[in-house]
Structure 1
Amino acid sequence: MASLADQIEKYLRKLLTKYEGEVEIKRNQLASDFDCVPSQINYVLNTRFTVEKGYLVESQRGGGGYIRIIRVSLDSNRKTLKELISRIDGPITQREAEGIIDRLFDNNFITEKERDIMKVAVNRKYINVELPHRDYIRSRLLRGMLKTIIKHEDEEG
Structure 2
Amino acid sequence: MFLNWFDTAPRRILGLVAVTCVAMLAFGLYLQHGPAKLEPCPMCIVQRYALVLVALVAGIAAFVPARGFLVASAGLMTLFAGFGGFVAARQSWLQWYPPEIASCGRDLYGMIETFPLKRAIPMIFRGGGDCTKVDWTFLGLSIANWSFLWFLFFALVGLVLLVRQLRGRSMPRHALAT
Provide TM-score, normalisation by structure 1. 0.31
Which protein has greater RCO, CA pairs closer than 8 Å, 6+ apart?
A: 2
Structure number with larger C-alpha Rg = 2
